[in-house]
């Protein structure tokens, strides 16, 4: 298995390591665990899906199961691996095996940790930050990760104050409390680089195909409205 070319499909980077500009909001469906989840993702064609490898997560998936699901994933849909203070060698190993294309860090990983990862793999790194107050964003702009993710908590379906990202001067993934009911508003108000959802597309702790479909449709509808508004404003 070779994995997805970082310059292709849902991976938000070009071959020379620059951000891919598509003119639309990227969509990441996280915490996928079953064949049914992957089949739905293949139908919807998000930019990225996510496998959670964090030990304490209720959505944790094994390396073996992730490999099987990755083999089912359509070319052009990238896979992110979500980790919390994991051994860098294990993280890099999953990337080298082609199970994941992007590394997403949700623990206390610092610049030295990211530097260590980059010595082991060339896969892009996303660093997540919990946002409770404006001061929490002071380290975001200077973070050495390729991308940052703004979150409210630990997959508990809670949003943060959406007035806070105005001080972030780099592209970011928006997560935390997103669902089919509020994601269009988030896209139109904040214009995030990506939206990232997990609990918001679940029913009873399992991914719900109806909610997955609704989420993706709402994002794409919001993008079309934003494009239409820009055209109207310009002419």
Catalytic: 223? Answer: no
Tally of CB atoms within 10 A around 8:
15
Give the residues across from 81 on adjacent strands: 51, 103
From 151, 179, 196, 223, the catalytic residue: 151
Q: Which spans in the chain are helix H?
A: 35-44, 63-72, 88-96, 111-120, 183-190, 209-233
Is residue 111 within 8 A of residue 79, CB to CB? The reply is: no
Question: In what helix (H) or strand (E) does residue 79 lie, and over which residues does it extend?
Answer: strand 78-83
User: How far is residue 152's CA from residue 131's CA, in Å, rounded to a whole number?
Assistant: 5
Angle, alpha carbons 40-8-94 (nearest 5°): 70
From 30, 37, 47, 101, the catalytic residue: 30
Catalytic: 30? Answer: yes
- Active site positions, annotated: 30, 151
């Amino acid at each position: 298995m070779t994995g997805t070319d970082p310059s292709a499909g849902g991976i938000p980077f070009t071959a020379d390591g620059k951000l891919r500009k598509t003119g639309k909001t990227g969509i990441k469906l996280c915490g996928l665990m079953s064949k049914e989840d992957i089949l739905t993702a293949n139908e919807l064609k998000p930019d990225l899906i996510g496998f959670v490898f964090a030990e304490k997560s209720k959505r944790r998936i094994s390396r073996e199961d992730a490999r099987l699901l990755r083999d089912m994933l359509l070319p052009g849909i990238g896979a992110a691996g979500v980790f919390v203070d994991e051994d860098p060698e294990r993280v890099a190993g999953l990337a080298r095996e082609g199970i994941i294309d992007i590394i997403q860090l949700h623990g206390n990983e610092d610049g030295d940790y990211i530097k260590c990862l980059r010595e082991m793999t060339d896969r892009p790194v996303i660093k997540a930050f919990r946002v409770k107050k404006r001061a929490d964003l002071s380290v975001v702009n200077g973070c050495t990760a390729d991308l940052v993710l703004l979150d409210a908590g630990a997959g508990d379906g809670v949003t943060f104050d959406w007035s806070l990202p105005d001080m972030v001067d780099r592209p970011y993934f928006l997560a935390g409390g997103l669902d089919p009911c509020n994601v269009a508003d988030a896209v139109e108000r904040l214009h995030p680089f990506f939206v990232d959802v997990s609990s918001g597309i679940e029913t009873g702790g399992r991914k719900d195909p109806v909610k997955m479909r609704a989420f993706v449709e709402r994002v794409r509808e919001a993008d079309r409205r934003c494009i239409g508004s820009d055209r109207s404003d310009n002419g």
